[in-house]
Structure 1
Amino acid sequence: MGYGRNNWRQVAGFAAEFIPGGEAVIDAVDLARGVSEGVGLSRLNYTKGGHPLVELPWQPPGPPPDPQRAEAVGQQAWNVLFADETRYSARSLLDQVGNLLVPLPPAELDMVVRRWGQQGLERWDSLTHVEDENGEPAYDWRRQAELFGWLLRTVSPYGAMLIGTWMPCSQPEYDPECQCGDHGWVLPEGPFAQVDGAYFTQNWQRVSGSTEAMSWQDMDQGRFGTCWFLTSIQAVIQANPQHAPGHLRLEANGTVTCTLYDHGRAVDITMVPDLPYGHGRLWSAAGHTEDARYAETWPGYYEKAAAIIRGGYDEIVGGWAYDAFCLLTGKVPQELDLNSPWLCHEAADRRGRGQALAVGTVGRGDDREKLAGGRLAASHAYFVKDVDVAGGRICLGNPWGDGATRQMWECWLTLDEARTYLCKVDAVETW
């Protein structure tokens, strides 16, 4: 999730001899990759039009599995699952299935999931949509998130991929609106190599966990119109660097859990670790590279969690930082007065107190339109990156990424320019 920023070969020859185990790291990464920099899609766990199903190493926690018990409980749960929901309520059937499966150790639950396969998982998923006499589904979205989260965190990586493939409610819908046929989902690999129990990133830093390297600089919006959400993440992480590691974690089986908020209540969204892919690059948000093998993928998982909680990627295209701040922090943002002569002072004061600030630019809904002599995009969201109180200026950061030319990466605005080009400024507590 927190893959390194630099091409690892840029420093390998210089650093390896000075780092304990450096040569072993090179050998391990070379062995893992097996080919040169020109790796194609055949080296990626990529599936056109669907989700990858790949066996990955997994050490199940708990006692060794009892195949006979797994078979007996799985068959009993299967019978309940396929009972007549018009005679027994779907909610009752779902609760009975859960009561049967929850006590199983992870290895046995994984055996049940594999044995059920497509037919059983699709049936389990369909029951969550059955409506009662009041037109309400058997499980509301929060109960579904709890159900899918428990399943995805417990089973093997392959079992999680089965769930992600055959239980549609566990994955957000992804429609690229493109007829090229080169779209699907990919499992990013990443360049991490392990030596003597420690992990090394591409730029030869030891890391104790995949979330350690999360930074607001690690952001490239990708192809979805989610600037309102992604730049709000930048604002929150810049204000509180501990926020992302506390709200995004890699589970032991490789799934990813992101904590978002609904009306102030925390909701854990657990996801299969695949991401949208197309045209030879990650379609979702990433870090400093479009290469799905080595991209910093944590922004994409934040984006995917928002798509799950909102009902699909189409549902998070376009929005306001106000709503993003509510999703990310569970707190109610406050709007600043753009016409105040003390705007810079207030912005600096709020940033000094650990608050995150984000803005929206004026426009007619097309961020290809340029403002301020080409320095800003219209109908776009930015975060307040810095404030120059003495000079009466604010600096905006762009979620489009820190490119080599830094064009449109940041923009300084005077107070008059801010009033001309901005339509909204929101601030929220992050601690």
Structure 2
Amino acid sequence: MGYHRNNWRQVAGKAAPFIPGGRELMAAVDVVQGISDTVGRSQLQYVRGGHPLVELPWQPPGPPPNPQRAEAVGRQAWDILFASEQQYSARSLLDQVGNLLMPLPPTELDLVIRRFGTQGLERWDQLTHVEDEHGEPAYDWPRQQALFNWLLRTVSPYGAMLIGAGMTCSQPNDDPGCDCGDHGWVLPEGPFAKVDGAYVTENWQWVSGATEALSWQDMDQGIYGTCWLLTSMQAVLQANPQHAPRHFRQEANGTVTITLYDEGRPDPITMVPDLPYGHGRLWGATGHTEDARYAETWPGYFEKAAAQGAGNYVDVVHGGPPAEALAMITGRTTQKLDLNSPWLIQEIADRKSRGQALVATTAGTSDRQKLAGGRLAQSHAYFLKDVDPAGGRMCLGNPWGDGATRKMWECWLTLQEVGSYLVQIDAVDTW
């Protein structure tokens, strides 16, 4: 089983002491790599304690704007937004604003959003939180998310970032649990070009990347405890590489739309393309690196979409069992395998051959504790990476990615070891 791509550093590090001049060579490589990783970081669009607002190129669809009409509609919508919700009800005001804005072409809608500015968008956001006579918000979640999806897909990149900064419920809340004061949101740098299977930035700096735009190998869990979610996506993408292109989409204005499922129903979520950042690194899931300039940022957007569906990152971190994640990703009911079956290995091989995704959960209470001689973390989720029916064993893949040691990156278990270390294996159809 190959460690995939970046394992050269682990292998070279082990071999360096036994090669004449090996230590000196690795030290030189680390210096060069350090320079490469830090070049351009000062130019990242990072806002400590807030969201970035940056003008970016945009080619709007539809006719050119009519400034007079946009000004008239914007003024009327502004007056409605700041009308008394006690007199007219927040739901009525929100519906009126939506009815005014929906007919506008993208360029004019963008002018209105810019006219609103942070003050108008914060008022709009405030109305979505006003409670009705039953103590419920004026907008329910599906209606509210559909509104955000439409706005974020339609306006300019700057307008989308303005919405993300001014309408707090259009973005998941993030509490990193750190009082250092160095946390905020960053726009990952781009664009990227693919050259011979690798990515390069606009400054022609090399970037490690999969040959596929969205690949199951592109996973490094990051700081959040979202193994139950991320490794479920790994399992799905390994079983069905076509799942990602049908559920991940970058819109023309740079926003990102990811489709999850709620009780089997598709639930598209459009997001501003900024990601949590702190301590000089992306705080959430990445693809093999902590550097925000790198191309493999899709795991972070998937994690952000799940956080938006839950309302905040904290609820995703506390999360649930992999069975819930598999259902949220595929929209299908999961099946629980019998760990005591003498034919478990053969059943896993059969399910994988039929394109099913399988995720295993280890015993224990904290992933800081180890199992199987340090090869497994307790209370951790793994995807079923491979199976060897003839040898009677299976391989677990770790969503910690290259952040894990070679010892913990993958773990082969015999049938006898399964009952000692695993508490559950869930499977789901992906095709």
Q: Partner of 1:18 in structure 2?
A: none
Structure 2: how far apart are the matches of 1:139 and 1:199?
Answer: 46
Query: How far apart are 1:201 and its partner, in Å?
Result: 2.5
- Cα–Cα, structure 1 residues 66 and 213, in superposed 2: closer, same or farther, change >3 Å? same
Which residue is equivalent to 1:389?
389
User: Comparing both chains, which one has the higher relative contact order based on Cα–Cα distances under 8 Å and sequence gaps of 6 or more?
Assistant: 1
Alignment CA distance shift 1:212-1:83 (3 Å):
farther
CA drift of 1:416 comes to: 1.4
Could you list the per-position Cα deviations for residues 155-194 of structure 1 after superposition, in whole angstroms to 9, with x for gaps in the alignment? Answer: 0000000100010001111111111111111100146149
One-letter amino acid matched to 1:421? Y
Letter aligned with residue 333 of structure 2 = V
**Structure ranking higher in helix proportion:** 2
Aligned to 2:128: 128
Per the alignment, residue 28 of structure 1 pairs with: none
Give distance in 1, aligned partners of 2:427 and 2:223: 26
In the alignment, does 2:228 pair up with 1:234? no
Partner of 1:360: 361
Give aligned-pair identity as a percent.
73
- What amino acid does structure 1 have at the position aligned with 2:249? R
Correspondence for 1:159: 159
1:349 is aligned to 350
The verdict on how the C-alpha distance between 1:187 and 1:336 changes in structure 2, with shifts beyond 3 A counting, is: same
The residue aligned with 1:15 is none
- Alignment CA distance shift 1:415-1:54 (3 Å): same
For 1:17, the equivalent position in structure 2 comes to: none
1:284-299 to 2 correspondence within 5 Å?
A: 284-299=284-299
The reply on whether 1:373 has 2:373 as its aligned counterpart is yes
Matching of residues 208-287 of structure 1 within 5 Å: 212-287=212-287
- CA spacing shift, 1:358–1:308, aligned 2, 3 Å: same
TM-score (norm 1): 0.87
Question: In the TM superposition, what is the alpha-carbon distance from 1:406 to its structure 2 partner?
Answer: 2.5
**Is the alpha carbon distance of 1:169 and 1:403 closer, same or farther for their aligned partners in structure 2, counting shifts above 3 Å?**
closer
2:228/2:321 contact within 8 Å kept: yes
What SS does the aligned partner of 2:46 have? Answer: strand
How far apart in 2 are the matches of 1:115 and 1:288?
41
Shift of residue 87 of structure 1?
1.7
> Hey, what's the Cα distance between the residues in 2 that align with 1:224 and 1:373?
25
Unpaired runs of at least 5, structure 1 = 7-34, 205-209
CA distance in 2, matches of 1:200, 1:367: 33
The equivalent of 2:26 in structure 1 is none
Does the CA-based 8 Å contact 2:37-2:291 persist in structure 1?
A: no
* Residues 376/187 of structure 1: CA separation in 2 closer, same or farther (3 Å cut): same
- Summarize the Cα distance change of 1:403–1:177 in structure 2 as closer, same or farther, 3 Å threshold: closer
1:375 and 1:65 map into 2 onto residues whose CA distance is 60
Q: How does 1:324-335 map to 2 (within 5 A)?
A: 324-335=325-336
Instruction: Supply the distance in 1 between the matched residues of 2:352 and 2:117 (Cα, whole angstroms).
Output: 51
Deviation at 1:200, TM superposition (A): 7.6
**Which ranges in structure 2 are unaligned for 5 or more consecutive residues?**
7-34, 205-209
Q: What SS does structure 2 have at the residue aligned with 1:128? A: helix
Give the Cα separation in 1 of the matches to 2:413 and 2:197.
42
Equivalent residue letter for 1:218: D
Residues 114 and 159 in structure 1, CA contact (< 8 A), matched pair in contact too:
yes
The answer to whether 1:42 aligns with 2:20 is no
- Tell me the distance in 2 between the aligned counterparts of 1:394 and 1:131: 52
- RMSD of the alignment, in Å? 2.1
**Deviation at residue 36 of structure 1 after TM alignment:** 6.4
SS at match of 1:60: coil
Once residues 130 and 136 of structure 1 are traced to their aligned partners in structure 2, the CA distance between those partners, rounded to angstroms, is 8
Matches within 5 A, 1:32-71: 38-39=38-39, 41-71=41-71
1:145 corresponds to which residue? 145
SS of the residue corresponding to residue 77 of structure 2 reads helix
Between Structure 1 and Structure 2, how many residues are aligned? 391
Q: 1:426: how far off?
A: 0.3
Aligned-partner residue type, residue 91 of structure 1? R
| Other-structure match for 2:199 | 201
1:100-130, Cα deviation, whole Å (9 max, x unpaired): 0011011111111111111110111111111
- 8 A contact 1:321–1:358 mirrored in 2: yes
Q: Distance in 1 between matches of 2:48 and 2:61?
A: 33
Give the partner amino acid of 2:256.
V
- Matched residue, 1:320: 321
For the Cα contact (< 8 Å) 1:217–1:402, is it kept in 2?
A: no
**1:403 Cα offset (Å):** 5.3
Partners in 2 of 1:287 and 1:315 — Cα distance? 22
CA distance in 2, matches of 1:143, 1:400: 36
Following TM superposition, the consecutive aligned residue runs of length 4 or more in structure 1 with deviations greater than 3 angstroms are 35-38, 402-405
**Hey, what's the Cα distance between the residues in 1 that align with 2:335 and 2:120?**
47
Aligned partner letter, 2:80: V
What TM-score results when the alignment is normalised by the length of structure 2? 0.87
